[in-house]
Structure 1
Amino acid sequence: MAEIRGNAASVTFENVTKTYPGANTPAVDDISLAIEAGKLVTLLGPSGCGKTTTLRMIAGLEMPSSGRILIGGNDVTRLPATDRDVSMVFQSYALFPHMTVMENVSYGLRFSGHDKKEAASRARAGLDLVGLTDFGARLPSELSGGQQQRVAVARALVLEPQVLLFDEPLSNLDAKLRRHVREEIREIQTKLGLTVVYVTHDQEEALAVSDRIIVMNKAVVAQDGTPRELYDAPANAFVADFIGEANILDCEVVAVQGDEATVRLGTLALKLPARGHQAGPAKLAVRPSRIEIGPAGAPQTIAGTLAKVTYAGSHLELVVATALGDVFVLSRNVDAPFQAGDAVGIGFPERGPVLIKA
Structure 2
Amino acid sequence: MTRINAKAASVRFENVTKIYGRDVVAVDDITLTVRAGSLVTLLGPSGCGKTTTLRMIAGLEMASRGTILIGDKDVTQLPATDRDVSMVFQSYALFPHMTVLENVSYGLKFSGFNKAETRDRAMAGLDLVGLKDYGGRLPSELSGGQQQRVAVARALVLEPQVLLFDEPLSNLDAKLRRKVREEIREIQQTLGLTVVYVTHDQEEALAVSDEIVVMRNAAIAQVGTPRDLYEAPADAFVADFIGEANLIPVEIVDTDGATATIAMGGYRHALPSRGLPKGPALLAVRPSRLVLSDRGGAGMAARIAKATYVGNRMEYTVETDVGSFFAVNEDVVHPLKPGTDVALGLAESGPVLVPRA
TM-score bracket, shorter-length normalisation: over 0.9
5 Å-filtered alignment, 1:36-185, equals 36-185=35-184
Hey, what does 1:338 align to over in structure 2? 336
Rounded Cα–Cα distance in structure 2 between residues aligned with 1:119 and 1:173: 30
Q: Provide the aligned length of Structure 1 versus Structure 2.
A: 352
Rounded Cα–Cα distance in structure 2 between residues aligned with 1:28 and 1:337: 47
Rounded Cα–Cα distance in structure 2 between residues aligned with 1:152 and 1:25: 32
Rounded Cα–Cα distance in structure 1 between residues aligned with 2:333 and 2:320: 23
Rounded Cα–Cα distance in structure 2 between residues aligned with 1:353 and 1:25: 38
Contact (CA 8 Å) 1:6, 1:192: kept in 2 or not? no
Hey, what does 1:295 align to over in structure 2? 294
Residue type of the alignment partner of 1:329 = A
Hey, what does 2:318 align to over in structure 1? 320
Rounded Cα–Cα distance in structure 2 between residues aligned with 1:60 and 1:260: 48
Rounded Cα–Cα distance in structure 1 between residues aligned with 2:340 and 2:256: 39
Residue type of the alignment partner of 1:146 = G
1:257 Cα deviation from its structure 2 partner:
2.9
Given the superposition, is the C-alpha separation of residues 36 and 314 from structure 1 closer, same or farther in structure 2, using an over 3 Å criterion? Answer: same
1:31 Cα deviation from its structure 2 partner:
0.7
Contact (CA 8 Å) 1:40, 1:210: kept in 2 or not? yes
Rounded Cα–Cα distance in structure 1 between residues aligned with 2:351 and 2:124: 49
Residue type of the alignment partner of 1:356 = V
Hey, what does 2:25 align to over in structure 1? 26
Rounded Cα–Cα distance in structure 1 between residues aligned with 2:73 and 2:274: 36
Hey, what does 2:269 align to over in structure 1? 270
1:281 Cα deviation from its structure 2 partner:
0.7
1:238 Cα deviation from its structure 2 partner:
1.1
Given the superposition, is the C-alpha separation of residues 259 and 136 from structure 1 closer, same or farther in structure 2, using an over 3 Å criterion? Answer: same
Hey, what does 1:286 align to over in structure 2? 285
Hey, what does 1:206 align to over in structure 2? 205
| Alignment deviations for residues 265-316 of structure 1 (CA, whole Å, 9 cap, x no partner) | 2222222222221111111100001111011111x21110111111111111
Rounded Cα–Cα distance in structure 1 between residues aligned with 2:161 and 2:260: 45
Rounded Cα–Cα distance in structure 2 between residues aligned with 1:38 and 1:258: 40
Rounded Cα–Cα distance in structure 1 between residues aligned with 2:155 and 2:72: 22
Equivalent of 1:329, from 312, 317, 327? 327
Contact (CA 8 Å) 1:126, 1:157: kept in 2 or not? yes
Select between 348-357 and 277-286 the one with higher mean Cα deviation: 348-357
Q: Secondary structure at the match of 1:135?
A: coil
1:6 Cα deviation from its structure 2 partner:
5.5
Segments of 4+ in structure 1 off by > 3 A? Answer: none
Rounded Cα–Cα distance in structure 1 between residues aligned with 2:203 and 2:21: 34
Contact (CA 8 Å) 1:17, 1:66: kept in 2 or not? yes
Q: Secondary structure at the match of 2:25?
A: coil
Q: TM-score, normalised by structure 2?
A: 0.96
Residue type of the alignment partner of 1:183 = E
Rounded Cα–Cα distance in structure 2 between residues aligned with 1:7 and 1:145: 30
Residue type of the alignment partner of 2:12 = T
Q: Secondary structure at the match of 2:24?
A: coil
Contact (CA 8 Å) 1:6, 1:194: kept in 2 or not? no
Q: Secondary structure at the match of 1:134?
A: coil
Q: Secondary structure at the match of 2:20?
A: coil
Contact (CA 8 Å) 1:27, 1:219: kept in 2 or not? yes
1:242 Cα deviation from its structure 2 partner:
1.0
Equivalent of 2:309, from 308, 311, 316? 311
| Alignment deviations for residues 233-289 of structure 1 (CA, whole Å, 9 cap, x no partner) | 111111111111100001111233332222222222222222221111111100001
Hey, what does 1:14 align to over in structure 2? 14
Rounded Cα–Cα distance in structure 2 between residues aligned with 1:164 and 1:269: 49
Contact (CA 8 Å) 2:50, 2:198: kept in 1 or not? yes
Rounded Cα–Cα distance in structure 2 between residues aligned with 1:10 and 1:262: 43
Contact (CA 8 Å) 1:291, 1:352: kept in 2 or not? no
Q: TM-score, normalised by structure 1?
A: 0.96
Rounded Cα–Cα distance in structure 2 between residues aligned with 1:272 and 1:35: 33
Residue type of the alignment partner of 1:168 = E
Q: Secondary structure at the match of 1:17?
A: strand
Hey, what does 1:233 align to over in structure 2? 232
Hey, what does 1:349 align to over in structure 2? 347
Rounded Cα–Cα distance in structure 2 between residues aligned with 1:331 and 1:279: 32
Rounded Cα–Cα distance in structure 2 between residues aligned with 1:257 and 1:92: 54
Give the gaps of 5 or more residues in structure 1.
none
Rounded Cα–Cα distance in structure 2 between residues aligned with 1:357 and 1:113: 56
Contact (CA 8 Å) 2:314, 2:335: kept in 1 or not? no
1:357 Cα deviation from its structure 2 partner:
2.3
Give the gaps of 5 or more residues in structure 2.
none
